Chain A
Amino acid sequence: MANALFYLMSVGAVAAALGTVLARNPIQCVLSLLASFFCLATIYLLAGFQFLAAAQILVYAGAIMVLFLFVIMLLNLGNPGTDDTTDTAMFRKKGAFVGVLVAAATMAAGAMAVTAGALPEAAQAMPEHGIDEIPALAGEMFGRYLLPFEAISILLLATAVAVVVLAKRDRKDAPRKGA
């Protein structure tokens, strides 16, 4: 049952990922990517990662995709006039060649690496509470990974500042007070 659900969700994730890359309308791309993230969250859950599944939905589906959708709506790119996948544009020979070649090479390298040495069989049953129990995860995060945790908090702060600076309208464009 769980195995069948895994394969179903795998097919769903791959199909939605293809939809993301191939859809004409940016809105369709966002919604396909959202579907892909939900399928992946289910796979995380099946593989025993409950916290990561929740984080995937909260952060990716809840925050990042809304950000994408917001920017597309803000710039009014959802109308079919601005799509970039009209046949001549998207499948220009050089770009398509490079893209498909790199993707195929990635696939081949991954498949070879995976099939070269047989991975160990699962010798134990899945822990009852899943693999990423919150207390153990928190102990790691504030113990062994404290320095990366602090570094990433600084990264988030710097990003917030950087985004404000980047997205702010230029002083020159703003109407002067006296003029």
Chain B
Amino acid sequence: MTVPHEHLFILSAILFAIGTAGFFLRRNVIVVLMSVELMLNAANLAFLAASRMHTLQAGATQPSLEGPMFAIFVIVVAAVEAAVGLALVIALYRNQQTVDLEQVSALKN
């Protein structure tokens, strides 16, 4: 495809903004975790767009692999984050019978 690099970055920014909005708007802790996943995916897209840009620029002799490498690491970290986050959700639900962040206020004040 011959889409300009800007469009990939703009898509990444839109997805990141939607994820940010979800992170602040939602009160269900599972949906908040999903918003974080959305933000990590947007970051991945930006990494890959940068890699594509450097690979296709004039004078580049071999593909730029930094982007894909970082994207792989981000995917692993996202998996780790989801696993730990959901384990915390289960522990929270066991103790408080809720996943509503408004009602989890033991550390407030």
Given pairs A46-B3, A49-B52, A84-B100, 7 additional interface contacts (CB within 8 A): A20-B35, A60-B41, A84-B31, A99-B21, A106-B16, A131-B55, A132-B51
Taking a contact as CB atoms under 8 Å apart, the answer to whether A29 and B53 are in contact is no
Dominant secondary structure of chain A at its interface with chain B: helix
Chain A contacts for B84, CB-based, 8 A: 159, 162-163, 166
The answer, yes or no, to whether A140 is at the interface (CB within 8 Å) is yes
Kindly report which residue of chain A lies nearest to residue B24, judged by CB atoms. A99
Taking a contact as CB atoms under 8 Å apart, the answer to whether B27 and A90 are in contact is yes
Chain B contacts for A6, CB-based, 8 A: 1, 3, 7
* A47-B69 Cα distance, complex, nearest whole Å: 16
Dominant secondary structure of chain B at its interface with chain A: helix
A24 to chain B, nearest CB (A): 10
Q: For this complex, into which size category does the number of interface residues on chain B fall? A: 35 or more
Chain B contacts for A85, CB-based, 8 A: 26
Taking a contact as CB atoms under 8 Å apart, the answer to whether B35 and A21 are in contact is yes
Chain A contacts for B1, CB-based, 8 A: 2-3, 5-6, 46-47
Kindly report which residue of chain B lies nearest to residue A127, judged by CB atoms. B63
Chain A contacts for B104, CB-based, 8 A: none
